[in-house]
Structure 1
Amino acid sequence: MKFTAKTALLAAALAAGTAFAVPAMAEDMVNLPNLSYRTGPFAATGIPLMNGQRDYMMMLNERDGGVNGVKLGYDECETGYNTEKGVECYEKTKAAGGIVTQPWSTGITLQVLPKSNVDKIPILAPGYGFSAMQDGKTFQWAFNPPSSYWDGASMILKNISGGDLDSLKGKKIVLLHLDHPYGKEPIPLLESLAAKHGFTLLPIPVGLKEMQNQSAQWLQIRREKPDFVLMWGWGAMNAGAVTEAAKTKYPMNQFVGIWWSGHDGDLKLVGDAGKGYRSISWSLPNSEAPAMKDIKKYVVDAGKSMANTADGEFDSVFYQRGVLISMILAEGVKAAQAQFNAKVINAEQLRWGLENLKLDEAKLKELGLEGMIPPFSTSCSDHTGHAGAWMLEWDGTKFVKVSELLESDRAAIDPIVAAKAKEYADANQPWPVNEECKM
């Protein structure tokens, strides 16, 4: 990619206030773009996540001069969480020399997934996307560490059942979900576990136009009287759901969300009325962690952050999860640099780096992020890592950890992954599979 095209894109992003200055010459940086959603009905969740991602990258540039002497180029292409715009952004960032794509939508992920084998650009979808992307032999260019939606569903059921899913026999569980690929993602695993353990699964979809007015869905929930409501919500849907639950006095200790349904701002709308609501989370906020202190010193206090610090965004679950997502990407860059003895890596080398992440406790401590994310590693066959997660509970003002580290049931998940991966590959022939991958 020529200098003019790259700098033009960076200049446009900078003008929009979503990029930061990096060296002009391509050989001085690695281009790590992000498909953001700071606008639209999902902006409430998108903004803190993007701010956390951006600030970690900026901190590395300001504190360390980048990674191993190479600056990290970060620019955003706004999708508004719209799949069509997301595909346009994918093409735009690809043309500008981006060596990764971060779709930030299961719908966009599914659209760019077939392109990955052709374009040879890794897809990084931390904690989202198509759960079968765990199968690195089939999805060689797609990564969804540290845990998939099927991991999340498994861990939620393990927690609400006290570790014995057979105790759910005869119970009724509602899945309140966005009527979108993201919201439908846990259904295959939940249906399988319902059949095995004897509970009733009742999916209740929420359309994009119903997110802020879920009276029909909560009327159905009141009629059904479920033992638990699981929520796969996003953006405005989360706020609408917790508000309706509080209004109808649904027991909050029976209401549990996936990690994208654990946004501080949504629960602040109901305050004490939301006490007891839980969300599974593969991240724990810790503003006193050394890396967070460095972000505050080099970025926030220096006036270079876009975060709303007056509203507590810096301390929130989603902002700090954004930090961890950029950490995962930066560590993929480092692994690739070491493996290929190169400073400015390309997309294929980054793919190797993301496939060989080794984030153990010692590494997380070295990075100044100890205890904020469970240790995990990836391999050619496992592009997820299955890090585990904690259950967080709203105490009226903030989310607090209320469980030990939970682990998913791989014996239940892996066969569904294999079946869905094969189904996808068969439907998209010719689809290359890495037969050399044995681990």
Structure 2
Amino acid sequence: MRHWKTWAAAAGVALVAGSAAAQELYAPNLAYRTGPFAATGIPLMNGQADYFTMLNERDGGIGGIRVNFDECETGYSTEKGVECYEKTKAKAIVTQPWSTGITLQVLPKSNVDEIPILAPGYGFSPMADGRVFQWAFNTPSSYWDGASMILQYLEQEGGSLEGKKIAFLHLDHPFGKEPLPFLEAKAEEIGFSLVPIPVGLKEMQNQSAQWLQIRRERPDYVVMWGWGAMNAGAITEAVKTRFPMENFVGVWWASHDADLRLVGADGAGYKAISWSYPVLDAPVMQDIRTHVVEAGLSQTSEEEMQGVFYSRGVVISMILAEGIRAAQAEFGHAEITPSELRWGLENLNVTEARLAELGMTGMVPPFATSCADHTGHSGGWMLEWDGEKFVKASELLKPESALVSELEAREAQAYAEANAPWPVNETCSVGG
């Protein structure tokens, strides 16, 4: 079911909220403004926080109730992330782990604590299967979606991948290994050679050994699943070793403007798949400037606001806000529970028309979720660094749904069996 109550009902929710004197909705974010990934975490956290601050200042919150977007600092540490989860879960309507490692640790707890996990564009790809992972959402695209779109783009631009070699440069971390099941299946199906090249956490800024291996392998393409300092290190090494940047493609977490500004024009041609795009003159961005930045309520800078990661943070908070709105409209009150938010996140229907209402046209493709589909598989655009900024290099790309769905179902079942007894929502129907 993907219906929405009328927005008149949402206005009624605001009245209910006022009469009930509701306090706030507690939506903590397990942030990482410190540690080895801080440079990428800060713009994302700023974008997320600024969107909710804008809603609080402009609209009085959502449905008449303000959102407490508290941050618990993890430094991207899995151990600290679990501590933050335990610290915040008593009042939280949602948890936002912000690391595949933290997500995997929190995932088994979700069935007991019954708090939705919102991990937009990250986490465990099989979380798309809402029948098995009832409380987890990686809306609007999974890592397997991203790998699929990258391969499609390479085939569109360079012809068949049969007989070619792809070096898979990845962080040696659960996040970096996520796309391997999809890439290995496609390598066997198409007939290309896949060469995994891991980068340890201590090697992120010194990848001379990895790029020496790339020079020896002479791959047709390098696909990078990197994060934080690893991306900047890889891009710098690629330029230094004269690897053709037009054959270097990253996941959406490897599209940080600051990493490319380090090499400037020498990085021209580098690409990254992305399910978000910075539309600098979008109405929502102006509202954030007016109600948040100019009011002195933001930690962001003008340069940061123009980047891919800041606007992605805005989109991520919009996803959560729309889930809250849907739940409020369905249940008729503003102070929703975690289980009611789960319903809202399962019934998202962010159409082109809704994006226009939100002032976010072009910032994310339309997407919808359901009881069975917790991702939405929105698709994305290939972005290209033109020497100064990222620009769109493709029309909207969509993931290969058949193989992605097959892998999701298989791996979700395997996870449930390995963690038995694992509750499964048998009431969910495929596509419903």
**Partner residue of 1:79 out of 74, 80, 104:** 74
Pairwise CA distance, 1:163: 7.6
SS in 2 for 1:201: strand
Pairwise CA distance, 1:302: 1.1
| Aligned residue in 1 for 2:117 | 123
Q: Deviations over 1:143-188 (max 9, x none)?
A: 00110000000000000111898x1011000110000000000000
Q: Aligned letter for 1:128?
A: Y
The answer to which of 204-213 and 299-308 deviates more is 299-308
SS in 2 for 1:202: strand
| Aligned residue in 1 for 2:201 | 208
Pairwise CA distance, 1:303: 1.2
| Aligned residue in 2 for 1:409 | 400
**Partner residue of 2:31 out of 30, 36, 49:** 36
**Partner residue of 2:191 out of 159, 175, 198:** 198
Matched, 1:259 2:238: no
Pairwise CA distance, 1:411: 1.1
Matched, 1:158 2:152: yes
Separation in 2, partners of 1:60, 1:287: 19
Q: Aligned letter for 1:43?
A: A
Pairwise CA distance, 1:26: 9.0
Pairwise CA distance, 1:384: 0.2
Unaligned runs of 5+ in 1: 1-22
Task: Answer whether contact 1:127 1:146 (CA < 8 A) is retained.
Answer: yes
Larger relative contact order (CA 8 Å, sep ≥ 6): 2
Task: Answer whether contact 1:102 1:123 (CA < 8 A) is retained.
Answer: yes
| Aligned residue in 2 for 1:313 | 304
TM-score of the two chains, using structure 1 as the length reference: 0.93
Q: Aligned letter for 2:294?
A: D
| Aligned residue in 2 for 1:241 | 234
Q: Aligned letter for 2:44?
A: L
Q: Aligned letter for 2:200?
A: G
Separation in 2, partners of 1:404, 1:379: 26
Task: Answer whether contact 1:386 1:408 (CA < 8 A) is retained.
Answer: yes
| Aligned residue in 1 for 2:362 | 371
Separation in 1, partners of 2:408, 2:157: 22
Separation in 1, partners of 2:42, 2:287: 21
**Partner residue of 1:60 out of 55, 58, 63:** 55
Give the 5 Å matches for 1:40-439.
40-95=35-90, 97-162=91-156, 167-309=160-302, 312-438=303-429, 439=432
TM-score of the two chains, using structure 2 as the length reference: 0.94
Pairwise CA distance, 1:308: 2.3
Pairwise CA distance, 1:27: 2.8
Greater than 3 Å deviation, 4+ residue runs: none
| Aligned residue in 2 for 1:3 | none
Pairwise CA distance, 1:301: 1.1
Separation in 2, partners of 1:359, 1:314: 23
Separation in 1, partners of 2:246, 2:414: 38
Separation in 1, partners of 2:239, 2:296: 38
Task: Answer whether contact 1:158 1:164 (CA < 8 A) is retained.
Answer: no
Separation in 2, partners of 1:140, 1:46: 27
SS in 2 for 1:28: coil
Pairwise CA distance, 1:412: 1.3
State the identity as a percent. 68
Unaligned runs of 5+ in 2: 1-17
Pairwise CA distance, 1:190: 0.2
Pairwise CA distance, 1:243: 0.4
